[in-house]
Amino acid sequence: MEIADRIKELAQEYRDETAENLSKLVKIRSLSREEEEVQLELKRQMETVGFDELKTDGLGNVIGRMGNGKKILAIDAHMDTVNVGNPDNWEFDPFSGEIKNGHVLGRGSVDQKGGAASFVTGAKILKELGFDRDLTVYFVGSVMEEDCDGLCWKYIIEEDKIKPDIVICTEPTSCNICRGHRGRMEIEVVFRGISAHGSAPERGKNAIYMASEACLDIKDLNERLKRDAFLGKGSATITEFISNSPSLCAVADYAKIHVDRRLTWGETKESAVAQIEELLKNGDAEVRVLEYEESAYTGLKYGMEKYYPTWKLPTHHVAVKTGVDVYKSLFGKAPKVDKWTFSTNAVTIRGMYGIPTIGFGPGDETLAHAPNEKVPIEDLLKASAFFALYAYRI
Ligand SMILES: [Zn+2]
């Protein structure tokens, strides 16, 4: 029997188990930096598969290794989720993990514990088939993605010293293939004015006016940002405006704006900062890129600059071509090869460290961070088969 057919058969056989594993993961609340319990559950599920090595690293990522080959493939799923938002918008309990009408229900089912449950089954299939290719496969349940995408992989590459040749990021793609997304960065601009009595504003310099002019300039800048045929347009918007003055009867001497900047192909931290500095060249303002630094659930403090580089792989790259080939073998037709709208751990994996990355994951990305999140069990089955066959074909 063809290996692809055998893998499909096993994915079908383990279908209910995959759904039940996901249900267990969904039942455990796991906001960023609070992944300890869900990590224990994922590790328990991975233990039943039997990896050559299974550990939790200093940042709290759970990492299972299969094989010992020179070439390294990693499959990543972040274990943290965002909060539920207004509970009234949900038609079911976000933490029930209920399995109903061919779906697993709840927060994180799509974004993206479904990826983790599917890779556990993918690993189980490889084990069952006695996988012995000259390849190392790491299965990674990662932390803190919703807080600082890519930070976990900065740790894995720099501290765990694991540097894969190819990574599959299992964020939701509705079981299509993704080969890129826009990058992003968080910029703050601080304006310093001079206060004066509110009865004589001409004596002072109002920081609110300075910031307001800059806001309108940034609105215009957004309109003329460059566009990439595949990734779309870069964007800039103001997400916060803070000001201060000695009293409500005084000219404001301080204002601060927060800019959410999405970066398309060819836009970098340097180019984005320079554009804003150019707008401010006649004013007294300071532009800075924010830093992230927080403690993981393990207690370890770790951080990085809030610059998340843009990435894309060409369609003819071997990582993409292998994905297309695996898809055709399993499902008998060509996949859609697309991009994500949101950002993922690939910002560091590919954007910072240059490691070829593709996306393939269960669930519809429009349900990520939304109420009534649920994932089709059929998608979990497809993803588990895809991960297993990818390990054979790469
Ligand atoms: Zn996600």
- Cα 142 to averaged position of ligand 1 atoms, centre (Å): 11
Angstrom distance (rounded) from CA 345 to CA 353: 11
- Report if pTM > 0.85: yes
pLDDT of residue 43 exceeding 80, the answer is yes
| Assigned token pair, 20 | 């039940």
Confidence of residue 1 (pLDDT cuts 50, 70, 90): confident
Considering the candidates 145, 186, 228, 379, report the single residue annotated as catalytic: 145
**pLDDT tens digits for 79-138?**
999 999 999 999 999 999 999 999 999 999 999 999 999 999 999 999 999 999 999 999
CA–CA gap between residue 65 and residue 209 (Å, rounded): 57
Residue 179: per-residue pLDDT? 98
Asked whether the bond before 45 is cis by omega within 30 degrees of 0, the reply is no
Distance CA(332)–CA(137), nearest Å, equals 26
Distance from the alpha carbon of residue 240 to the mean position of ligand 1, in angstroms: 24
Any catalytic annotation for residue 9? no
Which phi and psi angles does 249 have, rounded to 5°?
Answer: -110, 35
For residue 326, how far is its CA from the centre of ligand 1 (angstroms)?
A: 24
Render the burial of 189-209: b for 16+ CB within 10 Å, e for the rest. Answer: bbbebebbeeeeeeebbbbbb
Please confirm, yes or no, whether 260 is among the known catalytic residues.
no
The string of pLDDT tens digits covering residues 156-198 is: 999 999 999 999 999 999 999 999 999 999 999 999 999 999 9
User: In sequence order, which ranges of the chain are alpha helices (DSSP H)?
Assistant: 3-13, 15-27, 36-49, 114-128, 151-158, 207-224, 269-279, 318-331, 346-349, 377-393
Give pLDDT tens digits for 208-234. Answer: 999 999 999 999 999 999 999 999 999
- Catalytic residue of the set 57, 80, 146, 186: 80
Distance in Å, CA 145 to ligand 1 centroid: 7
User: Ligand 1 centroid to 255 CA: how many Å?
Assistant: 33
339-384, pLDDT tens digit by residue? 999 999 999 999 999 999 999 999 999 999 999 999 999 999 999 9
C-alpha angle 187-86-90 in degrees, rounded to nearest 5? 125
